[in-house]
Structure 1
Amino acid sequence: MLPLLLLAGAAVAATPLWVGRFDGGAGGLPAGWTIEHLNPRVPPTEYRQRLWDGVAAVETTAVKSMALLVRQLTVELESTPVLCWRWRIDAPLLTADLGSKAGDDYAARVYLSFSVPPAALDLATRSKLAIARGLWGASVPDAAINYVWDNKHPVGTLRANAYTERARILVLESGAAHAGRWVSERRDVADDFRRAFGDLPARLTGLAIASDTDNTGESARAGFADFHFVARDGSCAFP
């Protein structure tokens, strides 16, 4: 029986876990996703489904705006730690600077939130999280990774967010060289979390996308498509 059980486990791991398949003709928001508008003083980024150069996608339009399009999820990163997706931008932002609060904007970003057991966090971190949740609500995660399309920093740059060290920024695309077309990404989320936060026990709890321009006052348009998780030795399953 043991070889059969191992084969069954391998088959499950080899099957892509889809967490963001969109309807190119639906308009509106995709099922299971909601807009999280954190600051009522700032206009929300707009989201809609569309077919974009043959890709069923979510289009984001930001004009001096910020809001996340969010879905809750549970993914076993032990078996399927690799996140695959496609994205595109019209152009990078001109005045963004991930090192400052005034420049903390991105033409496109993919946001992963994590839950960490309280016992694994020190008292200072737990206190800071409590304050943040008092200001912004219970949705503030214990830790977060932002994969971003930046305007100027080198690909591979990893830094704390300008507002909180509990969110880390990882630059996957930078500048305008790949703007105006779909770009495929593949990231080992478990490895990226260890690189960002060390060997903390953590559970992936949410996925969000955004175009974010409230700090710079600029405009941006981006597209996102085909989010799925695969095993480390699995291939991304782009249509």
Structure 2
Amino acid sequence: MFLKGKTALVTGSTSGIGLAYAKALAAEGAAVMINGFGEADAIETERAALAAASGAAALYDAADMSKPEQIAAMVARCAAELGGPDIVIANAGVQFVSPIEDFPIEKWDQIIAINLSSAFHLTRAAIPGMKAKKWGRLIFTASAHSLVASPFKSAYVSAKHGIAGFTKTAALELATFGITANCISPGYVWTPLVEKQIPDTMKARGMTREQVMNDVLLAGQPTKQFVTVEQVAAMALHLCRDESAQITGSNMSIDGGWTAG
């Protein structure tokens, strides 16, 4: 358990990739604060399981990632009740699929706020504590869409490109403080976020569900397989190791070869 004594804060972690991050970190002994939306009973079940796995505390915070003041309060609560955070994973994300000319302005603003701006607010609040300890790991869930684009996802692609740039800036600013900043860019991972965008893509492209899955979602992944949440979480764990202290400012692709071409 190489993370015993460390505290991790993971946003968007009540399901999907975020929950996989939390489980992987807890399995290595980290105290964990999870965040996100969902049924209270289901969240409590996951929280209790994380505490049992880590042998350390696990807390849930319902901060809304579109509200900067709630993000700052969540980091302050993490510091007060768990210590840290030593590891911050900005993972919260939403998606909307539409042609640019029809893209609702409120949806653009929401995606930029949750997928990009929340990472800034989270990092800004966490940096002072990390600097004081001279150790920290900042990990951002980007996407293959931080490197390439797809039609009908203008806000999401813009936000994820922004995450890649923010990662580099944070890495340069924090390079002498024992703090690394990296982003992980998965291809298509089978999560609720991906499943929910299938009907919109069917409508936008005039395709069947099977066509969307084979000809859109997996079209760009040469392996023709979805990435698993466990594979993404394993990369995050690797970045938390002391042996990874010189990996900073990197964009780690886990996309079945999608961005290789």
The structure where strand makes up a greater share of residues is 1
| More helix by percentage | 2
TM surpasses 0.5:
no
If asked which structure has higher relative contact order (CA below 8 Å, sep 6+), I would say 1
TM-score normalised by length of structure 2: 0.27
